[in-house]
Amino acid sequence: MSQKNANKNPGRVYESRLKSLRKLMRQADLDAFMVLIPENRRYLSGFTGEDTQFDESAGALMITQSILLLVTDSRYETQAASEAPLYRIFCYKEGLAKAFPEILRILKPGRIGFESIRMSVRDHGRIVEEIRSKKNPVELVPIEDLVERRRLIKSRAEIDAIRSALNVAESALLSVSDHIRPGVMETEAAWSLEKEMREAGAESLSFPVIVASGPNSALPHAIPGKRCFKSGEPILIDWGARLNGYCSDISRTVFIGKPDPVFKKMFDTVSDAQKKAIDAIRPGVSSRVIDRIARSHIEKKGFKDRFGHGLGHGVGLAVHEGPRISPLKDIPLMPGMVFTVEPGIYIPGLGGVRLENMVAVRKEGAETLNHLNLSYSFEGF
């Protein structure tokens, strides 16, 4: 099916994903699968309802080999019916647990898999209690990564969506370049960047904007504060936009004026480490090997133990998803994977440098999705 036809027939996309999921369900000997993770719900149905916090849910998908049920409450009933036409909508009044006996009468399953990463002990206990009270011989089976395994490989349409979100984020930084000057507070620059992304069409941020200057840039996940920018210091900016459900994630380190020689060495080291890692990306190469290439270069340049986090992570409907590119993970790279490559050097009390690009794995190697040049960031604004 051509991409053009796929865009005209979104139902075909979900049918294809459901076909793959049902095959995995058969392999796992599951009669039904309960989808609770918001990104997985959207991936399999088109339903965009978001959980407002961990103990509140917009609903669940209940999937068997022949039945598609989207269970939710009255807040989302109309939205669910509009966005997920392949599914029968079941609207509960007292929560998922209380509705479970009725759901079981519809599905008639024996073994139900559920996404254990998203179900709390409390909710699990309530569901089990309802099942036992009705003497229903149903087994709940904790499952991990059943949907995420398919989400590892992005379609052309998904990569295009990520690219669009990336374009919004990169254009936003260029638009707020006048806010990168001495005397501007980190919070002011962060708000300007967030505002620009929203006005450019982003439906939300991928995550709260990070703007960290001087010694604060040594904190990989710094929170913008009242500190003002100063000439010669690093300003680490980490930001991303969400567009049509898909996220982008970028980091740049910029300087106002001429940086200190130590910072220049840090920047050059990180830039070279990133390039070496991206050049090594191709199908079949281990994710751990890619991490090691960047990490070894940073260590050889005298910054051992100053790069503490993994080299990268997958980005898609979630800003952090598989694959993980780190010393702890060993997964062969495959065409269609999209992830960040973000080496960094952090020296407490002095400052840090991180450069983050997004890449898509192709048959011939890696395609860098970014357009914002690293050297442009180094030259300053």
pLDDT by residue (tens digit) across 99-151?
A: 999 999 999 999 999 999 999 999 999 999 999 888 888 999 999 999 999 99
Which residues partner with 126 through β-bridges?
none
Averaged pLDDT, 33-39: 97
Nearest to 50 by CA among 27, 18, 83: 83
Nearest to 256 by CA among 280, 276, 278, 232: 232
- Give percent of the chain with pLDDT exceeding 90: 88
Tell me how far the alpha carbon of residue 236 is from its chain's centroid. Answer: 20
In this predicted structure, which of 7-11, 177-181, 325-329 has the lowest mean pLDDT? 7-11
In the prediction, which pLDDT does 380 show? 44
Q: What's the rounded Cα separation, in Å, for the pair 257 and 202?
A: 31
CATH 3.90.230.10 residue ranges for the chain:
156-379
Nearest to 137 by CA among 86, 101, 163: 101
CATH 3.40.350.10 residue ranges for the chain:
3-151
What is the CATH code of the structural domain delimited by 156-379? Answer: 3.90.230.10
How confident is the model over 217-274, as pLDDT tens digits? 999 999 999 999 999 899 999 999 999 999 999 999 999 888 889 999 999 999 999 9
Which amino acid is present at 324?
R
Statement: residue 57 has pLDDT above 80: yes
For residues 250 and 242, the answer to whether their CB atoms sit within 8 Å is no
Mean pLDDT of all residues in the chain?
Answer: 93
Which amino acid is present at 77?
E
Range 3-151: architecture per CATH: 3-Layer(aba) Sandwich (3.40)
In the prediction, which pLDDT does 354 show? 97
For the CA atoms of 133, 136, 140, 146, what is the dihedral angle to 10 degrees? Answer: -130
In the prediction, which pLDDT does 135 show? 82
Q: What's the rounded Cα separation, in Å, for the pair 248 and 182?
A: 28
